[in-house]
Chains A and B, each alone.
Chain A
Amino acid sequence: DTGVTQSPTHLIKTRGQQVTLRCSPISGHKSVSWYQQVLGQGPQFIFQYYEKEERGRGNFPDRFSARQFPNYSSELNVNALLLGDSALYLCASSLVGNSNQPQHFGDGTRLSIL
């Protein structure tokens, strides 16, 4: 089975630009969550989507937004990029939302802001 796939793997942007990151969940998984991980820290929860609806949101500014498509894939958008947005962005999928199912991670997108 194919795992969680994310694209692109690496991205370099400058301050003020906008970025879109993409994620395809494990086949059969309907819930997608996004995380930001800076060096030396654990992943920080950004969003959870299930059945195309936002089901959870972490403490991130409105510059961060996401959506989920009918095929359960998802995009994370970040506007007005700041230097502090440089991080590894991780997507995780689980069978359903609102459950105690474990989450399985993709390889991430490493975003660098210059």
Chain B
Amino acid sequence: QKEVEQNSGPLSVPEGAIASLNCTYSDRVSQSFFWYRQYSGKSPELIMSIYSNGDKEDGRFTAQLNKASQYVSLLIRDSQPSDSATYLCAVNSYNFNKFYFGSGTKLNVKP
């Protein structure tokens, strides 16, 4: 079982819609969770971090964490074509010495 699992997509949504990206993790004692965006040929860029159960909002982005279900999600409201990228979920190991990434979900926002 992989430490972090994501649906590879592609996830296609029309411009202005809500995009919902999901991630599950295997290590029950993981402490911190991150979403990165990676454009083709570029390096990952941090979007959000979340540490506690519940929702965290930052502009058009909302991260949701449910530790009991070992589930993290990212909602993108009012999706724009410029949001088209691969979204990577990352989880910090319990001793904070390793970062595990999912394989990413490719998002296409159609004008």
Size class of the A contact interface (CB-based, 8 Å)? 20 to 34
Q: Is the CB of A100 within 8 A of B95?
A: no
Q: Is the CB of B46 within 8 A of A44?
A: no
Q: Does B25 contact A (CB under 8 A)?
A: no
Q: Is the CB of B99 within 8 A of A103?
A: yes
Partner of A90, one of B44, B46, B92, B103: B44
B45 to chain A: closest residue by CB:
A105
Find chain A residues with CB under 8 A from B60 CB: none
Size class of the B contact interface (CB-based, 8 Å)? 20 to 34
Find chain B residues with CB under 8 A from A45 CB: 98-101
Interchain residue pairs with CB less than 8 A apart (25) = A35-B99, A35-B101, A40-B103, A42-B90, A42-B104, A43-B101, A48-B98, A48-B99, A58-B98, A92-B99, A97-B97, A98-B95, A98-B97, A100-B32, A100-B92, A102-B32, A102-B34, A102-B49, A103-B34, A103-B90, A105-B36, A105-B43, A105-B45, A106-B43, A108-B43
Residues of chain A having any CB pair with chain B under 8 Å: 33, 35, 40-45, 48, 55-56, 58, 88, 90, 92, 97-100, 102-108
